[in-house]
């Protein structure tokens, strides 16, 4: 058993008989009274985020989560199929667990799947992905200084705001944490 001083972002604890992922935490030492830890916890099974406060030194049960690198193969109607590149074993991950990560997944891409024993808990994407723009209004030469944006659809059917100079067929880098355009990638 560990205590509140061992809390880190991304760690998984067993709290109220549910597996909860620590989204963020803050150790607070007020001028008067005992110290405490304020956390935001995400219920892994339902995706619901709750605020929870623990007194400093409270014992918590941390779960050992294993991350395995997997290759995304394809999406069928109710799940996403991933393959372990070493053993060629395939894993089905339900659409509910993928959530908004579907906007950045393209076949052949490597991601980390987080496991508790044999159960898939979560998917961890790289910080940035490069996707091709498949539909947007034509770009206008010299239209780079205004900072204006336009909608574009990338190869995963995700709609994103991009600068006016982006054209169909351009490769763009997207931040997977915020879902925002970062830059155009030269080919």
- Report domain extents, the chain: 2-62, 66-124, 128-185
pLDDT of residue 139: 66
pLDDT, position 135: 93
For residue 42, what pLDDT is reported? 87
Do the domains at 66-124 and 128-185 have one common CATH topology? yes
pLDDT at 174: 94
Check: pTM over 0.75? Answer yes or no.
no
- Rounded distance, CA 8 to CA 94, Å? 27
Cβ–Cβ under 8 Å, residues 84 and 78: no
Distance CA 112, CA 3 (A): 27
Q: Locate 99 and state its tokens.
A: 């959530």
CATH topology of domain 66-124: OB fold (Dihydrolipoamide Acetyltransferase, E2P) (2.40.50)
Among 3.30.710.10, 2.40.50.140, 2.60.40.10, 3.40.190.10, name the CATH number for the domain at 128-185: 2.40.50.140
What is the rounded distance in angstroms from the CA atom of residue 71 to the CA atom of residue 108? 6
3-state secondary structure the chain: CEEHHHCCCCCEEEECCEEEEEEEEEEECCCCCCCEEEEEEEECCCCCEEEEEEECCCEEEECCCEEEEEEEEEECCCEEEEECCCCCCEEEEEHHHHHHHHHCCCCCCEEEEEEECCEEEEEECCCEEEEEEEEECCCCCCCCCCCCEEEEEECCCCEEEEECCCCCCCEEEEECCCCCEEEEECC
State both tokens at 48: 């619901």
Q: Which pLDDT score, from 0 to 100, does residue 145 have?
A: 61
**Per-residue pLDDT of the chain in tens (187 residues, 90 and over written 9):** 788 888 888 888 888 888 888 889 999 998 888 999 999 998 877 778 899 999 988 899 888 888 889 999 998 888 899 999 889 999 888 887 887 888 999 999 999 988 877 778 778 889 899 999 999 988 666 656 667 889 999 999 999 999 888 889 999 999 988 889 999 998 7
Q: Which fold has domain 2-62?
A: SH3 type barrels. (2.30.30)
């Amino acid at each position: 058993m560990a205590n509140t001083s061992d809390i880190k972002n991304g760690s998984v604890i067993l709290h109220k008989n549910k597996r909860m992922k620590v989204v963020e935490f803050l150790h607070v030492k007020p001028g008067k009274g005992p110290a405490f830890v304020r956390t935001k916890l995400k219920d892994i099974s339902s995706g619901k985020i709750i605020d929870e406060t623990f007194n400093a030194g409270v014992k918590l049960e941390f779960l050992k989560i294993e991350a395995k690198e997997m290759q995304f193969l394809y999406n069928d109607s109710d799940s996403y199929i991933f393959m372990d590149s070493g053993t060629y074993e395939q894993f089905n991950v339900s659409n509910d667990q993928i959530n908004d990560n579907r906007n950045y997944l393209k076949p052949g891409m490597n991601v980390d799947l987080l496991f508790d024993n044999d159960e898939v808990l979560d998917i961890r994407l790289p910080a940035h992905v490069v996707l091709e723009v498949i539909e947007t209004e034509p770009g206008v030469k010299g239209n780079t200084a205004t900072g204006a944006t336009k909608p574009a659809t990338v190869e995963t059917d995700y709609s994103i705001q991009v600068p006016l100079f982006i054209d169909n067929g351009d490769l763009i880098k997207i931040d997977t944490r915020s879902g925002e355009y970062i830059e155009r990638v030269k080919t």
